[in-house]
Structure 1
Amino acid sequence: MTDTQQNKAPDCVEIYADGACKGNPGPGGWGALLLFGGNQKELFGGEVLTTNNRMELTAVISALEALKRPCKIKIYTDSSYVQKGITEWILGWKARNWRTSDKKPVKNEDLWRALDRSVQQHQIEWIWVRGHAGNWGNEHADMLANQGVMSYLDGQ
């Protein structure tokens, strides 16, 4: 058992989420690793023409949609776009009818709305981690995201 697994609260789900893109825009993939108790679940997928930010958001949304009941969750992401978007920016966007502070439409509004719906039933702590810095969960999610890209490209 890893240190991460030993130190987990038994009633808490840990989610590591990541996105990848071969070109931006270009073919992309997303991956998520869900840890609960001694169990883990891996999720991944890909899209033909997308951006890294869309894949980062899709990874988190897909992980949350995989949960069957309300949970306490720690979400680890190397995307400051996702972490700041959901913890700092989204309330302003919603108050301005999905416009930025300079009155432009919010990019990826469809995914931000989906994420906003997905977080409502959970108690979530959002944790930013440095990408490609040796964090086991983040590295695993990155591998899954790249697997998502490759599974899509192999299916072409």
Structure 2
Amino acid sequence: MEVKIYTDGAARGNPDGPGGYGAVLTYLDASGKLYKKEISAGYRKTTNNRMELMAVIRSLQELTRPCQVELYSDSKYVVDAFNQNWIGSWQKKGWKKSDGKPVKNTDLWQELLQAMAPHQVKFIWVKGHDGHVMNERCDELATSAADGDHLLEDT
């Protein structure tokens, strides 16, 4: 099963302001019928990077069986972590960066690895705010969630 996922995160007053994530999951079945699902949530105090990660995590958690995933994100932080294998290096070094400092958001990186485990995920970077229809939709979802009334706690 091949799925395309588009994600974005947003934060107001980054760091530690309200934030949100948005994602669009698409699947084209064998008959050519397109299925689309949108997800989003907002948080009281968070960062943009945490919301970028949450968008990817929650999207992958929506999948009910192993999939081949093309995941599109405008976050170099997320995409490069996998495409440049920063994640493997961080794990080998006990979640420390090359400068010896701790990796930020380790809790979410570990949750993301767990969410990815049943799937084959290819990360693809898209330029944000550049007219990419799905990226723009994800941005709308993320910013609307950040500006919403029912904000969650980012623990």
TM-score (norm 1): 0.89
* Corresponding position: 1:138 with 2:128: no
* Corresponding position: 1:27 with 2:18: yes
**SS of residue paired to 2:147:** helix
**SS of residue paired to 1:131:** coil
Task: Name the CA shift for 1:74/1:96 in 2 (closer, same or farther; >3 Å).
Answer: same
- Which residues of 2 match residues 91-110 of structure 1 at below 5 A? 91-110=88-107
1:123 deviation in Å?
0.9
Distance 2:127 2:71 in 1: 13
* Corresponding position: 1:119 with 2:116: yes
Output the amino acid matched with 1:144. L
Unaligned ranges ≥5, structure 2? 29-33
Given that residues 18 and 147 in structure 2 are in contact (C-alpha distance below 8 angstroms), is that contact kept between their aligned partners in structure 1?
no
Distance 2:150 2:93 in 1: 41
TM-score (norm 2): 0.90
Aligned residues: 144
Distance 1:125 1:94 in 2: 19
Unaligned ranges ≥5, structure 1? 1-10
**SS of residue paired to 1:46:** strand
Within the candidate set 71, 81, 85, 2:81 is matched to: 85
Q: Which has the higher helix share?
A: 1
Distance 1:52 1:16 in 2: 16
Cα distance per residue 1:122-144 (max 9 Å; x no partner): 11111000001111111111111
Identity %: 48
1:86 deviation in Å?
2.5
Given that residues 42 and 150 in structure 2 are in contact (C-alpha distance below 8 angstroms), is that contact kept between their aligned partners in structure 1?
no
In the alignment, what sits opposite 1:8?
none
1:117 deviation in Å?
1.1
Q: Give every structure 1 segment of 4 or more consecutive aligned residues whose post-TM-superposition deviation is greater than 3 Å.
A: none
1:31 deviation in Å?
0.5
In the alignment, what sits opposite 1:3?
none
* Corresponding position: 1:13 with 2:40: no
1:46 deviation in Å?
1.1
